[in-house]
Structure 1
Amino acid sequence: MTAREAVITGIGVVAPGATGRDAFWELLAAGNTATRRISLFDARAFRSQVAAECDFEPLAAGLTPQEARRMDRAAQFAVVSAREALADSGAVLADVAPERIGVSIGSAVGCTMGLEEEYVVLSNRGRDWVVDHTYGVPHLYGYMVPSTMAVEVARTVGAQGPVALISTGCTSGLDSVSHAARLIEEGAIDVAVAGATDAPISPITVACFDAIKATTARNDDPEHASRPFDNDRDGFVLGEGSAVFVLEELAAARARGARIYAHISGAASRSNAYHMTGLKPDGREMAEAIRVAMDRARLGPDRIGYINAHGSGTRQNDRHETAAFKRSLGSRAYDVPVSSIKSMVGHSLGSIGSIEIAACALALEHQVVPPTANLENPDPECDLDYVPKTARDHTFDTVLSVGSGFGGFQTAMILSREAGDAR
């Protein structure tokens, strides 16, 4: 039996500073930052008052008033991204049996904004301990059940196959795409609409990260606040957004002459079984995920041409993954360009893994490594080639993208292109 392989044939993005795939790539290639002072609510009482917000208006993005009313902001992002991905792929899903179409959407915090807004109303701004549910919107139940976001995407594309909401913290966006690829590889489906979404820029989320001092307090200079691998970093910048892909079985995609952005060649996940938020400095768990992903892709360290780092901009994470790259790739780690797009679009929790997959696929297409913006004073313990400030032309066929999440989650994914793939 011929092995099946999943490939990306369509990309849709809603990101800070850029709605749409092309605008997103232009922002990254230019090294522009989309971080700014929070405007979605009054953040003056908080320690961290900066974020990477999406300039998104649902009706202008093509949603109907009914859809905008029904869906939380995160679900809106996902549906708009899915529509762009489907249009980009050129796939005619009417020609595919609906039970052969699956959906896999990742999210770390679900319908945070809808839930918080409704709690404020129902509780009289927190005054009432016993809330009156009759003041809630008719779709409040949907906000309570994050899988409704995947259902909205399934409804949009007419999928009647497996539909899943993957929630593994900040690796959700990698794990959701990996799950969809596995369904294609095992023959359960032929087409998947997969990705991730999160819209966490709300008082409750900002307060939670304030409490553990994980986010930056560089409020006077928000454009330069996200500083992965920089010795002057002081925490990550919260973000929001979505990226969704059309995945197809390779032979079928080739048969219809589809444009193939990237092959999902291998993926693996591990857990550190150590601490809810802490990381061991040796990076062993991430290194193991990288090793297994390379094994599944049947590639050695010498084939890795670019590393898209988790690069959150916390000292703990930056040193942890630097150690993981050295542990898994050996001396090759010093020769591979590495960058973090979180320096430009912030850390959107569960959705960032998919946004980074989009960046990797587009980097492969354009043969350009996006930069690590704001990297001016490198941490001496982060001594790899963390491409600073300016994008770099680079010839490469394989990308390693990694993610690290609260709960101890570590995920690695290998994206590659074949010689002769249409570009």
Structure 2
Amino acid sequence: MGAKSFWGLIADGRTATRSLSFFDASSFRSQVAAEVDFDGDLLGLTPQEIRRMDRAAQFAVVTARESVTDSGLEFDAVDPNRIGVTIGSAVGATMGLDQEYRTVSDGGRLELVDHTYAVPHLYNYLTPGAFATEVAWATGAEGPSTVVSTGCTSGLDAIGYAAEIIREGSAEVMIAGATDAPISPITVACFDAIKATTPRNEDPEHASRPFDASRNGFVLGEGAAVFVLEELENARRRGAKIYAEVSGYATRSNAYHMTGLKSDGKEMAEAIRNALDEARLDPADIDYINAHGSGTRQNDRHETAAFKRSLGEHAYRAPVSSIKSMVGHSLGAIGSIEIAASVLAMANDVVPPTANLHTPDPECDLDYVPLTARDWKTDAVLSVGSGFGGFQSAVVLAEPHGRQR
């Protein structure tokens, strides 16, 4: 919980993956998850907020409040119509919907469910737009308000979209990020069916193994990360602590397969090249690559090829790592969580490691920073994502350095 402890976890190379405890998972193929030790009451949510909001919405509100406080921005001094919200989510209020269906169907016994047993705010669970609404209410934002749902790239796309809203002049400030709390029987069953998640249940702490020859699927996770985005010169004038500039963003679709990936990484490479062009950076300017690194064989090969295709020889020189090895894959939220890891890597000049990487896959032959974090001057970071449906996104984060954009 919180930026400081999150950074401590990943910088130390510790894993948050464990045996799934939210429900009896004994009948499932994959029984491990990266669960957040979250207590909304201890984190300042009121009993009414906890009753009203799905777990993912609670994540979003708590992290939004933390980021607003950290920004030092006096929100009362900004026209609320010039403050917007963009929240990414892949699966919406999965846990709330799952729990409520079990309640109204009496554990699946009733074919005709009894709606009188449902919580009064069930509509908010059904409508993902409620995530943006809750964050807007919590922060007083009355400008553009959007939910971005593009599968596992939602967290990257929400940041890229928010930056574009500021660039076009539709808002001065955007509260942007992503949230997902998908650890429910229906989600676990869906990934079991396509064998995307790992069956390494006997060793949950070491179950997520991106780029390792023994990898056999990802570990499902949950979480959220939210940021305050602001026009650069405004932030400088008020003396803000600027973690990074969102200097480039692009997204592409492979129009190929719902879950499959071509081995050449062409579409991800195209997104990377376009993000670099927008940032006005050369491949050699990238100091660190925060990989999607899900730990599935096809993904790790696909993005390794994309890095080589887009960055050329520099792909072999830039350190690459996957924090999913430590915090699992929280679907739509993970892109924003990885951006948090990227900006903290820049702030500390430390590249977080890829945990559990003991036996590199010969097909994945880049520098994946195995096991231990690395002191590394980091002024520009490339963060990428790949999502079911063919989504491929890239964000370039850079130290401003007084550059004229």
**SS of residue in 1 equivalent to 2:151:** coil
Deviation at 1:418, TM superposition (A): 2.9
The equivalent position to 1:321 in structure 2, one of 274, 283, 303, is 303
Letter in 1 for 2:134: E
Counterpart of 1:198 in structure 2 is 180
Counterpart of 1:147 in structure 2 is 129
Counterpart of 1:242 in structure 2 is 224
Q: Distance between the aligned counterparts of 1:124 and 1:150, measured in 2?
A: 31
1:259-278 paired onto structure 2 within 5 Å: 259-278=241-260
Counterpart of 1:222 in structure 2 is 204
Q: Distance between the aligned counterparts of 2:168 and 2:42, measured in 1?
A: 39
Letter in 2 for 1:29: A
TM-score by length of 1: 0.95
Q: Distance between the aligned counterparts of 1:322 and 1:54, measured in 2?
A: 29
Counterpart of 2:142 in structure 1 is 160
Counterpart of 1:305 in structure 2 is 287
1:296-375 paired onto structure 2 within 5 Å: 296-375=278-357
Letter in 2 for 1:124: D
Deviation at 1:396, TM superposition (A): 2.3
Letter in 2 for 1:302: A
Q: Distance between the aligned counterparts of 1:185 and 1:101, measured in 2?
A: 13
1:29-44 paired onto structure 2 within 5 Å: 29-44=11-26
Letter in 2 for 1:413: V
**SS of residue in 2 equivalent to 1:170:** helix
Q: Distance between the aligned counterparts of 1:294 and 1:237, measured in 2?
A: 30
1:192-241 Cα offsets, whole Å, 9 max, x none, are 10000000000000000000000000000000000000000110000000
Q: Distance between the aligned counterparts of 2:209 and 2:194, measured in 1?
A: 18
Counterpart of 2:92 in structure 1 is 110
Letter in 1 for 2:47: P
Q: Distance between the aligned counterparts of 1:137 and 1:395, measured in 2?
A: 51
1:228-260 Cα offsets, whole Å, 9 max, x none, are 000001100000000000000111100100000
Unpaired runs of 5+ in structure 2? none
Counterpart of 1:55 in structure 2 is 37
Cα contact 2:345–2:378 (8 A) shared by 1: no
Deviation at 1:143, TM superposition (A): 0.4
Q: Distance between the aligned counterparts of 1:235 and 1:26, measured in 2?
A: 25
Q: Distance between the aligned counterparts of 2:45 and 2:119, measured in 1?
A: 19
Letter in 2 for 1:349: L
Counterpart of 2:157 in structure 1 is 175
1:127-138 paired onto structure 2 within 5 Å: 127-138=109-120
Q: Distance between the aligned counterparts of 2:120 and 2:83, measured in 1?
A: 29
Letter in 2 for 1:26: G
Deviation at 1:310, TM superposition (A): 0.1
For the pair 1:73 / 2:73, whether they are aligned, the reply is: no
Letter in 2 for 1:88: D
Q: How many residues align?
A: 403
Seen in structure 2, the aligned counterparts of structure 1 residues 420 and 367 have a Cα distance that, compared at 3 Å, is farther
Seen in structure 2, the aligned counterparts of structure 1 residues 420 and 179 have a Cα distance that, compared at 3 Å, is closer
Cα contact 2:174–2:228 (8 A) shared by 1: yes
Q: Distance between the aligned counterparts of 1:98 and 1:181, measured in 2?
A: 18
Cα contact 2:285–2:380 (8 A) shared by 1: yes
Q: Distance between the aligned counterparts of 1:30 and 1:100, measured in 2?
A: 39
Counterpart of 1:404 in structure 2 is 386
Deviation at 1:420, TM superposition (A): 7.3
Deviation at 1:375, TM superposition (A): 0.2
The equivalent position to 2:364 in structure 1, one of 349, 373, 382, is 382
1:374-413 Cα offsets, whole Å, 9 max, x none, are 0000000000000000000001210000000000000000
**SS of residue in 2 equivalent to 1:197:** strand
For the pair 1:418 / 2:396, whether they are aligned, the reply is: no
Q: Distance between the aligned counterparts of 1:130 and 1:272, measured in 2?
A: 41
For the pair 1:64 / 2:42, whether they are aligned, the reply is: no
Deviation at 1:134, TM superposition (A): 1.4
Counterpart of 1:395 in structure 2 is 377
Cα contact 2:11–2:352 (8 A) shared by 1: yes
RMSD, aligned CA? 0.8
1:147-177 Cα offsets, whole Å, 9 max, x none, are 1011000000101100000000000000001
**SS of residue in 1 equivalent to 2:394:** strand
**SS of residue in 2 equivalent to 1:115:** helix
Identical counterparts, % of pairs? 70
Unpaired runs of 5+ in structure 1? 1-18
Letter in 2 for 1:196: A
Q: Distance between the aligned counterparts of 1:419 and 1:104, measured in 2?
A: 27
Q: Distance between the aligned counterparts of 2:168 and 2:61, measured in 1?
A: 26
Deviation at 1:132, TM superposition (A): 1.6
1:77-116 Cα offsets, whole Å, 9 max, x none, are 0000000000100011110000000000000000000000
1:240-294 Cα offsets, whole Å, 9 max, x none, are 0000000001111001000000000000000000000000000000000000000
For the pair 1:185 / 2:167, whether they are aligned, the reply is: yes
Q: Distance between the aligned counterparts of 1:130 and 1:149, measured in 2?
A: 29
Counterpart of 2:73 in structure 1 is 91
Counterpart of 1:6 in structure 2 is none
